Amino acid sequence: MMTDALVKKAARDLCASRNVAALTGAGISVESGIPPFRGKGGVWEKFDPMEYAHIDAFMRNPEKVWKVFLKELNEVVQKASPNAAHMGLSRLEALGFLKTVITQNVDGLHQAAGNTDVIEFHGTFARHRCLECSRTYPAAELNFSRIPPRCECGGILRPECVFFGEMIPPHLLWRSEQIASTCDILLVVGTSAIVQPAATLPVIAKHSGAKVIEINAEPTALTDSVSTYCILGKAGEIMSGIIRELEASM
């Protein structure tokens, strides 16, 4: 089916549901200027994740990981603002269709767009925690001109994200699985669906009888096996198209 027809179909499917959830990944924030992890221009093209995004690597040398890797990513994230795809999901909540956004992103852009129930599956860069005394600070209160940023006690701060080698907080995993198994549509936007356990959520949704509507720049591991259908294109354009159709039909 052509993109326009799929956009119309998604609008019709969403319109017939009151229990929609979304799972988002780095692709939804690309139009906000935040690079994805995989593929062309991806963060992991430049950095080896095991050297810079694994908790053991960070704990071995937090200064190096901050200076080489986190500094740049943190700067991009702190100045980004929501794009049309985030706004589309926010509108979908305001219209009464979308209940929860489960995001793998650490950029806080779903909350900035206005979504009120956001599960930050991989944590956030909006708060930082001291490695020594565990005091936490909102990013807005920190001065990142000195890297690594430090606590008042002198300890180095870490973002409250999930590094590789760390567990997803069990209550977030449990709730996300509950949502995936009870929603009637799971919108999967801008994720390569490679990293576990997030990649299992669409599979849980499918096996629980939900429609899985994928929106992505390219086909993924889900496209042929899990997704009910996949709309290929930029998340911002596709989400705007869906909202336009939906509002026109209400």
**What is the contact surface with ligand OAD in residues (CB under 6 A)?**
25-27, 30-31, 36-39, 42, 49, 53, 104, 122, 162, 164, 190-192, 194-195, 216-218, 220, 234-235
Tracing tokens 């694994």 back to the chain, one arrives at 54
| Residue 117: CB minimum distance to ligand OAD, A | 19
Q: Which spans in 132-217 are helix H?
A: 170-182, 200-207
Sign of torsion over alpha carbons 114, 171, 223, 9:
negative
Residue 234 Cβ vs ligand OAD, minimum distance, rounded to whole Å? 4
| Closer residue to ligand OAD (CB): 121 or 151 | 121
User: CB-wise, 151 or 205, nearer to ligand OAD?
Assistant: 205
Pairing between strand 98-103 and 20-24? parallel
> Could you tell me the sign of the dihedral formed by the alpha carbons of 232, 233, 236, 242, in that order?
negative
How near is the Cβ of 153 to ligand OAD at its closest, in Å?
27
Between 162 and 205, CB nearer to ligand OAD: 162
- CB of residue 209 to ligand OAD, shortest distance in Å: 24
3-state secondary structure of 48: coil
Q: Which residue among the candidates 86, 122, 128, 207 is catalytic per the annotation?
A: 122
Name which of 30 and 151 has its Cβ closer to ligand OAD. 30
Does residue 122 have an active-site annotation? Answer: yes
Positions marked catalytic: 122
